[in-house]
Structure 1
Amino acid sequence: MSQGLLDAKNDGTRGEKSHGVSRRTFLKFGAAAGGGLLLGFSLPAASQDQASRKSVIGGDGVETPQDGVFAPNAFVQIDRTGKVSLIIPKVEMGQGVYTSIPMLIAEELEVPLDSVTIDHAPPNAKLFTDPLLGGQLTGGSTSIRYAWEPMRRAGATARVLLISAAAQQWQVDPATCHAQAGNVVHPDSNRSVAYGDLVDAAAKLPAPQNVQLKNPKDFKLIGTGAKRLDSPEKVDGTAVFGLDVRVPDMVYAAIATCPVFGGTLAGVDDTNARKIPGVRQVVKFDNGVAVVGDHTWAAKRGVQALDIRWNEGAGAQLSTQQIVDDLAKASQRPGAVARKEGDVTGAFSSAKTRVDAVYQQPFLAHATMEPVNCTVHVRPDSCDVWIGTQVPTRIVDAAVTVTGLPAEKIVVHNHLIGGGFGRKLEFDMATQALKIGKQLGVPVKVVWTREEDIQHDMYRPYYYDKISAGLDANGKPVAWQHRIVGSSILARFAPPAFRNGIDPDAVEVASDLPYDLPNQLVDYVREEPHAVPTAFWRGVGATRGTFVVESFVDELAVTAKIDPVKYRRDLLGKSPRARNVLDVATQAAGWGSPVAQGLGRGVSVMHAFGSFFSMVVDVAVDKGEVAVKRVVCAVDCGMVVNPDTVEAQIQGGAIFAITAALYSEITIKDGRVEQNNFTDYRMLRIDQTPPIEVHIVKSAEAPGGIGEPGTAALMPALTNAIFAATGKRIRQLPVGSQLKTA
């Protein structure tokens, strides 16, 4: 998701310092079950009171606090044995939040990280809304930015109450006590007491209105390379993903959805399907049909045996070329202005040189490792949904819509996600499963095949960018004009964020460059690709924007006959953090030293998601095939919680980006997606993965995002390296199709 969605306004600092949640958070206390205290973080974006869902710390294996459980807030529970349970408001999908967020709480609570247990937060927007996203969502690289102060405050509040309880018991000043490794200690009398022995007394105390957080110099855990808390279960196979769910009396469903965008089911002959052993039932829905069986194999064979007729509709004539033609035509009309500074027209008229370019980026599928799946049990009076989702409250909403049941009768069991990349921000898979389950009355697991997954994804939009610059006699840009044309995801996903014709995500990066450009005009033209559904894809607007901007800056450097790194440095005088990461990355990569014959080296700079990145990529090109030889990254993401997670996320993001830049595209012919599996939606292989060096710049600034920037920053560094190696400028992705047609 987009930084544009996250920031309501630009204060002119260009992200040099972000105060994030700390400026907007206040504490609200209320009674919790069992006589404890419940601390909710009430934020402006959480204005909708969804308490009617009755999902406060309950269900899904999260125990409602009872007598003997100290629950000072929505995130911490401690029982009489001293067991510490942490309720994590974000969803774990490989990004490490089930370690980094507990680190924030454990730091202030003064408990060892390996002593805590983790529970999913249930759907409850009142308690678990991320104010940066305006809902209970996991996305936008916001998890640590959102959690940085609230989670530390949750741990500190619990610590203060426990210390106060111990001090009362000993009749001493709380200031003479401190917490240490799950105990309260009074050094003057050499006494200590375990947290578990204090829970009853602490639960009766009034909550403090303002607790003192640790000075960063006193951190013991934050900033260290902590081992992932979720790794052991993932290694031994006990971790439960959505795909692993098994419930009593469960049946299995395989599906066939109309292959044409916007098409519907006309009819089906299921005679042969019903003859297959294990097939129980055939279920029809608006644009498809499902076969229900005793096991997946029976259901899948049943689908293959169906004789289906489709109402293909007008979408049957749709093609990629038609969509591109529409985008190109739309680019001729003025767009909604996202940024305007200076006199762009006058600056162009006086410029010595003008450079114009058109950049195109294709539809992309998510192709997550875990296939799309959802298990439901729809009953007349209640409904259970088992799923791995980034949007638990939207799953509740979907169930209410399909079943007609009130929200308090819906229970969502959220699970680990085997790769999200934005796909699990959508709930179409849940809606489909609920429609099927409503006709059955028994639990049913719906699993999409890889073909269904790729051909019925919600795709990263096709983007068409027109960009121009005017250069003075020294090659410096004095005029800059950038028009972005494409689908608006936010107009569908979060309509209030789409204002005055601007999709903040679509203009991400492009409308807030780190470079000193005196005359700028950035505008956006919304052009929807007929019936093709579009959605967030790792990095979204920042990935799109960085590819165009950083590729074009390289073009300007070549036109000016100036080294690409020097060209950027000269334009980054007002953004010292961006210039610094550029220096760190290029020095580590040996920029300026000779490269081997046949190699090319490219660079990029990016400020997005509250973080600053620079990437240097080395490539070799042989007969149209690109081999990435080395990636060097410098990142300033503010204060780092877990450097191991930062490194892993950048490495994963880089691999994801290399795959997409070199190979990935979704094309449409006769209204149908042409790709159907990894045979023609190619993935990077292990032996193609380059060494990826990550250099973390020490910073005292508030944390920035890290899950998506690696993907966004890498693509232009890669294509700039290809230009250095071949002289071929890549203005359209994927790279493979461009080099082979050169």
Structure 2
Amino acid sequence: MTINVSRRGFLKATAAGTTALLVGVNAKGVLAAGSTASAATDLNPFVKIDADGTVTVIIKHFEMGQGTTTGLTTLVAEELDADWDAVAIDFAPANTERYKNLFFGAQGTGGSTSIANSFMQYREAGAAARDLLVRAAAQKWGVDASSISVENGMLTSGGNSAHFGEFVAIAATLEAIEKPTVKTPDQFKLIGSEKLHRKDNTGKTNGTAMFAMDVNLPGMIYAAIMRSPKFGGTVVSFDDSGAKDVGGFIAAQVLPNKAGVVAFGKNTWAAFQARDALSVEWDFSAAETRSTDAMIADHKAMLDAPQFDVNHEVPLASVAPILADAATTIDAEFDFPFLAHAPLEPENCTIEPTEKGVRVYDGCQFPTFTQPMVAAILELDPSQVEVKTLYAGGSFGRRANATSDYNTEAAMAFAVSGRKVPVKLVWSREDDIKGGYYRPMAAHRAKIGLDADGKIIGWDHRVAVKSIVKGTPMAGMVQNDVDPTSAEGVSESLYNVPNFGIGLSDFQTPVPINWWRSVGHSHTGFVMETLMDMVATQTGQDPIEMRLSMLDGGTANQARMIEAIKLVRDISGWKKGDKRGFASHLSFNTCVAVVADITVEETSVHVNKLFMSVECGVAINPDVIRAQMEGGAGFALSTILRNQITLTDGEVDQYNFPDYELLRNEEMPEIEVAIVPSNNAPTGVGEPGVPPTGPAVANAIFAQTGKRIMDLPMTKAGFDFV
């Protein structure tokens, strides 16, 4: 298997043989065009058009199933008026300056930002390419450019007609317009189409799509790592005598950071078996040794005296006297467990030596992290580390951790192997479930004060959770000592809540944590929407009408949420007094509202149907949006119903899907998704379906049983799900 992935290699391959047109961003950060390696030395293209008319869209965001390859391609093809079936895709090489996420300033995928940050960038690249082709055709045919029409990859003027490829040689000599005119919504043909097939469907169906796990290089050896059973443990010594009896065993070495022992084998099975046969002595002096109950208690103790005020306009201390004068108060405590991401393709990474350094094969979510970290371990310049991004079989945030853990593990394994042959590191499912980088454990405590008329007069909200970004390269997100991901969803609530004080404490543990699909919103959304339901119950109001009364439409997002709530109310046929559940939440600048229909028989709960509405700006690919809402709901149900990561004396109890169980087919409810019509700029859809799903179901359980779900998973409340 030979894959040339360097930027220079990409351009050389493009220039080889027939001429191709490249359109992208140059060193000055403006749109430019070229055709050969020499003419495009400062150009990283978003669009490539070959002489045979094939259009290739260069995808700067990796694909983990969320639909970026389809969405970004749609933006280019729309403005280019390309033939959808003739448009191909390729992943961008690692180059932060050229292919950075415009919201992050780094090359990476996450936060449901792929389409939002690329919306105009890719459209303008497509429009610039179209303009170049039209001007080239006008020159070749000797006609006025205004006489030329473009449709399905063909240019036409009078009796002249030809495909894109006929004009790339001339187009590549022209100067690209820096700010091309893009279409207005009434001109869209592909954006918003219900008929487009996903660009990754065929390869994933016939097996030709290359995932990181599929990489198989000549002479490659395999690596598996024995990691500390307690987070934070380090290797004292090891004995590999048992591993030597395993067929295919090559060698074992302590990792340079002493976080584990790597076993090398001639195949994956040999590496796993040899790893499991190692005898390792560990130093647990700096390791986590608490059990789950103790960690929950320590979280809740931190709620007594929060470290930081999140809302500086309303210090937490100022809320206490207001609550003391309340006619009624609502008090509630919640706790949430660690959660694994559990992507179906566990972490894996292959590193091979090259003439100038190394090449990394990975479903790489953040090349900006991976490239320099691998380089530092191998004592290389980052430019000597090529990153070949392949498809990833899920991530949900796992592959985006700021330490690039499995990439750096692979680099360390490569280093101690001798650096002569490719090394493929593979995590087992057990490695993944027990290996950390979880959604953090969290605890909330809230006290809401109501006046004699049932109006909210004050709200004391406290959160204890380990910070995801402090102490990482993402620490620049911290403001006034507050990690915004810890309290998002509370601090960003759309509801008009007076005297809203928010306190935060940073829990400390060696257990590694990470973004998890919807990040802080995964627990804050559950808490806020449960509390809102409690207020509605206490005051005798309809849950939907009460929320609408707390959204006056004074901001754009409030107005969007009102539209989402009204739409789900309509499609679900909601009526006051229904024994159903409702929740709505803003996350990643997208508004989602959910109505849950369930059946409860004694302690058995079945989720029958979810109605979901989403306001996400212009719907680039409606089918992808619906799929992401459905997938987000299924992901949420898997975790709220029964999933948790627990520890006994610092060691994880769960090991695989039998005890970290995914939602079964028969448990998946019918889901009806409605998209609010909008011409606003698109917002994220990969994560926003998760936060409101859980509280909608929990509120439905209360509506039917009178029992509030405060602690997750819901099995802790005595319910089984069927």
TM-score by length of 1: 0.88
The one-letter amino acid paired with 1:266 is: V
The aligned counterpart of 2:93 is: 122
Q: Is the 8 A contact 2:22 2:48 kept in 1?
A: no
The aligned counterpart of 1:182 is: 153
The aligned counterpart of 2:252 is: 282
Q: Which among 320, 328, 331 is matched to residue 353 of structure 1?
A: 328
C-alpha separation in 2, matches of 1:151 and 1:380: 34
Residues 1:106 and 2:83 aligned together: no
Q: Which among 200, 204, 210 is matched to residue 230 of structure 1?
A: 200
The aligned counterpart of 1:552 is: 531
Identify if the C-alpha distance between structure 1 residues 70 and 411 changes in structure 2 by more than 3 Å, giving closer, same or farther.
closer
C-alpha separation in 2, matches of 1:725 and 1:310: 51
Q: Where do 1:369-388 residues align within 5 Å?
A: 369-378=344-353, 382-388=357-363
1:66 positional shift: 4.9
Q: Is the 8 A contact 1:667 1:673 kept in 2?
A: yes
Q: Is the 8 A contact 1:35 1:204 kept in 2?
A: no
C-alpha separation in 1, matches of 2:312 and 2:74: 42
C-alpha separation in 1, matches of 2:42 and 2:308: 49
1:462 positional shift: 0.9
Q: Is the 8 A contact 2:44 2:98 kept in 1?
A: no
Q: Where do 1:476-515 residues align within 5 Å?
A: 476-491=455-470, 492-515=472-495
Q: Is the 8 A contact 2:23 2:128 kept in 1?
A: no
Q: Which among 392, 396, 410 is matched to residue 417 of structure 1?
A: 392
Q: Which among 426, 429, 440 is matched to residue 406 of structure 2?
A: 429
The aligned counterpart of 1:29 is: none
The aligned counterpart of 1:405 is: 380
C-alpha separation in 1, matches of 2:307 and 2:382: 41
Aligned residues: 688
The aligned counterpart of 1:301 is: 273
1:594 positional shift: 7.3
Identify if the C-alpha distance between structure 1 residues 345 and 291 changes in structure 2 by more than 3 Å, giving closer, same or farther.
closer
After superposition, the C-alpha distances for 1:6-60 in whole angstroms (9 at most, x for unaligned) are xxxxxxxxxxxxxxxxxxxxxxxxxx989976632899xx9xxxxxxxxx99xxx
Q: Which among 568, 572, 576 is matched to residue 551 of structure 2?
A: 572
1:240 positional shift: 0.8
The aligned counterpart of 1:26 is: none
C-alpha separation in 1, matches of 2:691 and 2:321: 33
The one-letter amino acid paired with 1:328 is: K
C-alpha separation in 2, matches of 1:442 and 1:161: 45
Q: Is the 8 A contact 2:25 2:43 kept in 1?
A: no
C-alpha separation in 1, matches of 2:421 and 2:37: 32
Residues 1:590 and 2:567 aligned together: no
The aligned counterpart of 2:211 is: 241
1:210 positional shift: 1.9
Residues 1:168 and 2:139 aligned together: yes
1:222 positional shift: 0.3
1:468 positional shift: 1.9
Residues 1:720 and 2:704 aligned together: no
Residues 1:218 and 2:154 aligned together: no
Aligned partner of residue 167 in structure 1, secondary structure: helix
Identify if the C-alpha distance between structure 1 residues 71 and 167 changes in structure 2 by more than 3 Å, giving closer, same or farther.
farther
Q: Is the 8 A contact 1:279 1:292 kept in 2?
A: yes
C-alpha separation in 1, matches of 2:22 and 2:204: 34
Q: Where do 1:327-726 residues align within 5 Å?
A: 327-340=299-312, 344-345=319-320, 347-378=322-353, 382-426=357-401, 427-440=404-417, 441-491=420-470, 492-528=472-508, 530-574=509-553, 575-592=558-575, 600-726=579-705
Residues 1:207 and 2:176 aligned together: yes
After superposition, the C-alpha distances for 1:221-270 in whole angstroms (9 at most, x for unaligned) are 10012111111111111111111110000111222111011101122221
The aligned counterpart of 1:40 is: 25
Q: Is the 8 A contact 1:505 1:541 kept in 2?
A: yes
After superposition, the C-alpha distances for 1:60-108 in whole angstroms (9 at most, x for unaligned) are xxx9955999998620011222121110111110011111110000000
C-alpha separation in 1, matches of 2:38 and 2:197: 33
C-alpha separation in 1, matches of 2:461 and 2:572: 31
The aligned counterpart of 2:8 is: none
C-alpha separation in 1, matches of 2:141 and 2:209: 43
Tell me whether 170-179 or 108-117 shows the greater mean CA deviation: 170-179
1:527 positional shift: 2.1
After superposition, the C-alpha distances for 1:474-500 in whole angstroms (9 at most, x for unaligned) are 222121222222111122250111121
Q: List structure 1 runs of 4+ shifted beyond 4 angstroms.
A: 32-38, 63-73, 340-343, 378-381
The one-letter amino acid paired with 1:195 is: F
C-alpha separation in 1, matches of 2:40 and 2:24: 15
C-alpha separation in 2, matches of 1:663 and 1:682: 7
The aligned counterpart of 1:52 is: none
Tell me whether 559-568 or 331-340 shows the greater mean CA deviation: 331-340
After superposition, the C-alpha distances for 1:611-642 in whole angstroms (9 at most, x for unaligned) are 11100112223453432111110111111001
Q: Is the 8 A contact 2:26 2:44 kept in 1?
A: no
1:321 positional shift: 2.4
C-alpha separation in 1, matches of 2:286 and 2:250: 34
The one-letter amino acid paired with 1:332 is: D
1:559 positional shift: 1.0
Q: Is the 8 A contact 1:69 1:199 kept in 2?
A: no
Q: Is the 8 A contact 1:79 1:196 kept in 2?
A: yes
The one-letter amino acid paired with 2:565 is: L
C-alpha separation in 1, matches of 2:334 and 2:590: 25
1:684 positional shift: 1.0
The one-letter amino acid paired with 1:610 is: N
C-alpha separation in 2, matches of 1:314 and 1:221: 56
C-alpha separation in 1, matches of 2:370 and 2:200: 24
The aligned counterpart of 1:192 is: 161
C-alpha separation in 1, matches of 2:334 and 2:498: 23
Aligned partner of residue 479 in structure 1, secondary structure: strand
Aligned partner of residue 710 in structure 1, secondary structure: coil
The one-letter amino acid paired with 1:97 is: T
The aligned counterpart of 1:77 is: 48
1:295 positional shift: 1.4
The aligned counterpart of 2:10 is: none
1:738 positional shift: 2.2
Aligned partner of residue 732 in structure 1, secondary structure: coil
1:379 positional shift: 6.7
Aligned partner of residue 271 in structure 1, secondary structure: coil
Aligned partner of residue 134 in structure 1, secondary structure: coil
C-alpha separation in 1, matches of 2:172 and 2:356: 36
Q: Is the 8 A contact 1:89 1:121 kept in 2?
A: yes
1:338 positional shift: 2.7
Q: Is the 8 A contact 1:340 1:519 kept in 2?
A: no
C-alpha separation in 1, matches of 2:678 and 2:606: 34
The one-letter amino acid paired with 1:224 is: S
Aligned partner of residue 540 in structure 1, secondary structure: coil
Q: Is the 8 A contact 2:21 2:49 kept in 1?
A: no
The aligned counterpart of 1:9 is: none
